[in-house]
Chains A and B, each alone.
Chain A
Amino acid sequence: MAAYIARRLVQLVPVLLGISVLVFVGMHIVPGDVAQMLAGEKGTAADVQRIRHQLGLDRPLYVQYGAFLLGAVRGDFGISLRTRQPVFWEIMQALPTTVELSCAALLFAVGAGLALGLLAARYPRTLLDAGAMTGVLVGVSMPVFWTGILLLLVFGGLLGWFPLGSMLDEGMRYHRITGMPLLDGLLTGDLAVVASNLRHLVLPAVALGATSMATIARMARSTMLEVLGLDYIRTARAKGLAEPSVVGRHALRNALLPVVTVVGLQLGLLLSGAVLTETIFALPGLGRLAITSVLARDYPVVQGVVIVGAGIFVLANLLVDVLYAYLDPRIRYQ
């Protein structure tokens, strides 16, 4: 197992390399001269020249890429063209928010998805089953930005049950340790911060997790139905075991296996969906940073964000695979 994990980690390197080349080439193909944009409308040709030279944008592409790579292996992704602060620092300011949002969305997706799917499987072909699956169909059909705006306007604007975006109440300060207000509030014992953050996370988590919840619910329902029809379940019931024990202890663990794989795939969707969710709910995460940087042609930041995002995705999938092996003793990696 250890050898397997080590091998997967080594495979991460060529993946990230390939991605960095793709992003680098992609950003430079897109029209729009960043030096002109930085110089602004009033910038003279001399200003544009100066900026281009100072930022090293007049060097050949392969030289620019080489310089970037040399820095990247040391953890130095360069400086943001927009703010002139280190790219690594910009990413670290934004990353905790996206991690918190994604975890909340995943929790909602897995929790609600499993509950709905298992419930539907327990009472198949009833009104409950039909209702759950219809709701799920609606959830998977609506794009995340639509769900987000709808939730914001109805539950935030109309009903006023939840705040209108951001991570905390306006003007609330907290002692920043990890950058995640929930964790930091717990670590410092500031429960007001924890409560505020939880309230602010509900709508974005639901918006972001809705599509994943739908997929997980359908998957859970079908695998559970399959498992419940197997012989060993019949045996367990025949032995006189209580139904909750049959479902909860014997059926669940096997039914979960395919769901775990699906969850791993969902993480990728969550990361990309975070871009839209963060914009709608004004969350200062990696997705917002990505959008702002792409629009401003801030190459170093875009490269940094994509590489970090890709790294997270690959590592998360590795985690899921390891979890899968833990759950299913039949699976052993060499």
Chain B
Amino acid sequence: MRVRLLVGILIACLVPVGFWASAGAQAPKTLIIAIGADQTGLDPQTVQNNESGFVMSTIFDSLVSYKLGTSIPAPGLAESWTISRDGRVYTFKLRHGVSFHDGTPMNAHTVAEDLDRAINPSNPCYVLARKGVDTYDDFTFGSVKEGNVAKMEVVDDYTLRFTLPKPNAPFLSSLAMVWQGIMSPTATKKYNCDASQHPVGTGPFKFVEAVRNDHITVEANPAYWGGRPKVDRIIFQIVPESATRMLKLERNEVQILADVPPSDYARVTGNPQLRLYTQPGLTILYVAMSNDRGPFVDPRVRQAMNYAVDKEAINKGLYGGATTASQGIPPVLWGYNPAVKPYPYDPAKAKSLLQAAGYPNGFTTEMMVYANPRGYNPVGGAKLGEAVQGYLAKVGVNVKITQYEWGAYLNKIRHTEYEGFAICGWSGDNGDPDNFLGDLFEWDEAANHWRINNCSRHHNPAFDRLIRQGREVTDQAKRTQIYMEANRILHDDAPGIFINHTNQVRAARASVRGFVLNPLQMFFHMERVSLE
């Protein structure tokens, strides 16, 4: 009888323990991010698709990372580095005690094994030999075909050295790109050179599953060297319709939207449970002019074109409030010159400049446009062309617009000496000013040709000298000064009508803390994000 009573009391005592245990075992904290399309593979070196980048930025680390919220290089898997005086040799010291998610240790040998497939054609997994793959490997490390590929050397267990054929300061920014994330070489070998369906990195989150066209799940890596993630799981939910994404955010079925159409901005800002995150994107949009042909040879004409167009009105009306451009790089990029302001709308000034240049009655010219929207131009080329045409007509410049299919358009602006206007633009790759100013506005002295994406065929020797210098100098502060000066020159040169930088806009529940936008649009540093 007493034994039974004792047993009964013991059991009764266990009941609250049971409740406590089940209360303590909380449901995993899950952060759900809604994206518009599926990834096309999760091996950083073999894919260039944005949605793939979103997911990969939580799974992988690169040698170099970007400082939070910026595109300035900071330590990543390499905790420090030295650059030789001639700017050609980069020696990286790797972190100790870091492992890939599959247990493979991260050190100079394993990192070199992964990067070898980027630069060594004899590597059985050489990336450029894989069918139909497009990669940033040649962008970062140079091209074997052109004989300017970087050399890699394992100095010791934790030291990796790269020797570049010429100094190239943007190399660090390129290494920080999500497309240079380090994949476990064990995984690459295990899956026959293609670990894109079974990604293994060193990042804050580990890959769990990817259900085609539905979702991708990653879970926290508790041993992450950057600190244990504050959420247990992230799910990238694929929802193709933007109206549905908005509804799901309002219902807290998803917590972050990777993109928000301008028509929904007010809906987010008007809702106290939601927060709109917005900053100018890493893009530029401008109406290029043929700097070496026609009336545009005279810089006064080019400046007149800038005064003639009301960019604020276009950016408000067509682009949902995009930031007006004043120079060759967006304000989020270091090297931006804040003292340089956009050309104001001043048709009178435009007319007087045209008169001074010898065109009192204006002139007639052509404009090439394309139809489809681009990342840096969401409304497409034709619409912008028409808007600009209207403003130019008011100062006596008559523009005839011709529309081309995208492939044909690219061919024309890159390989023909067209005369007139063309709609040009760019999305940044690595967050380095050279990626904008060099690619878009530099004249290749050695080849005596405009660089392929310099669609205005801009040629200013002082500017070109600064750009070359910017690649050779490795001190961050010095480079910033160089690019600020280059931007000033570019503003005055006015190779095109500077239009805007499209905004990067995301929306999130107010309960999401620690979420910071970065110019590269990727989901870096998600270990800092928590849910209230």
Contacts and interface: CB of A to CB of B under 8 A. Distances in A.
17 contacts: A32-B405, A40-B134, A41-B410, A41-B427, A54-B132, A55-B131, A84-B46, A85-B41, A157-B247, A160-B251, A163-B253, A166-B215, A170-B30, A170-B253, A282-B214, A282-B240, A284-B238
Contact of B248 (A47, A85, A164, A173): A164
A39 interface: yes
Contacts of A173: 209, 217
A171 interface: yes
Interface string A268-281: 00000000000110
A282 B241 contact: yes
Contacts of A157: 247
B237 A166 contact: yes
Contacts of A170: 30, 32, 215, 235, 237, 253-254
B196 interface: yes
Q: Which 3 A-B pairs have CB atoms at the shortest separation, nearest pair first?
A: A284-B213, A93-B212, A284-B214
Contacts of B139: 42
A328 interface: no
B312 interface: no
A279 B405 contact: no
A148 to B, nearest CB: 10
B529 interface: no
A284 B211 contact: yes
Interface stretch (A64-72, A75-83, A225-233): A75-83
Contact of A47 (B134, B253, B405): B134
B132 A81 contact: yes
A204 to B, nearest CB: 12
Interface string B32-75: 10000110110000101000000000000000000000000000
Contacts of A167: 214
Given A44-B452, A51-B132, A85-B197, A164 B213 contact: no
A94 interface: yes
A50 B134 CA distance: 10
Contacts of B429: 42
Interface string B198-237: 0000000000010111110100000000000000010101
Interface in A238-253: none
B288 interface: no
- B132, B145, B213, B427 — most chain A CB neighbours (10 Å): B132
Nearest to A149: B243
B376 to A, nearest CB: 9
Interface in A291-319: 292
A120 interface: no
Contact of A164 (B41, B134, B251): B251
Interface residues of B, number: 49
A167 B215 CA distance: 11
Interface string A53-67: 011000000000000
Nearest to A93: B212
Interface of A: 31-33, 36, 38-44, 46-47, 50-51, 54-55, 79, 81-85, 90, 93-94, 149, 152-153, 156-157, 160, 163-167, 170-171, 173, 279-280, 282, 284-285, 288-289, 292
B244 A165 contact: yes
Contact of B247 (A79, A94, A164, A285): A164
Contacts of A38: 132, 134
Interface string B417-428: 000000000010
Interface string B154-168: 000000000000000
- B212, B215, B217, B237 — most chain A CB neighbours (10 Å): B212
A51 B133 CA distance: 7
A282 B239 contact: yes
A149 B429 CA distance: 37
B213 A83 contact: no
A152 B244 CA distance: 8
Contacts of A82: 40
A31 B215 contact: no
Given A163-B253, A165-B241, 16 more contacts: A33-B407, A44-B452, A46-B145, A50-B128, A54-B131, A83-B40, A84-B133, A94-B213, A156-B247, A164-B244, A170-B30, A170-B235, A170-B237, A284-B211, A284-B212, A288-B240
A163 B530 CA distance: 25
Interface string B130-155: 11111000010000010000000000
B316 interface: no
Contacts of A47: 134
Nearest to A52: B132
A50 B139 CA distance: 15
Interface string B443-459: 00000000011000000
Contacts of A42: 139, 429, 453
Contacts of A284: 211-214, 238
- B130, B145, B410 — most chain A CB neighbours (10 Å): B410
- A41, A167, A292 — most chain B CB neighbours (10 Å): A41
B194 interface: yes
Contact of B244 (A46, A85, A282): A282
Interface in B247-296: 247-248, 251, 253-254
A81 B41 CA distance: 12
B374 interface: yes
A192 to B, nearest CB: 13
Contacts of A50: 128
B146 to A, nearest CB: 9
A26 to B, nearest CB: 18
Contacts of A165: 239, 241, 244, 248
A160 B46 CA distance: 42
B476 to A, nearest CB: 25
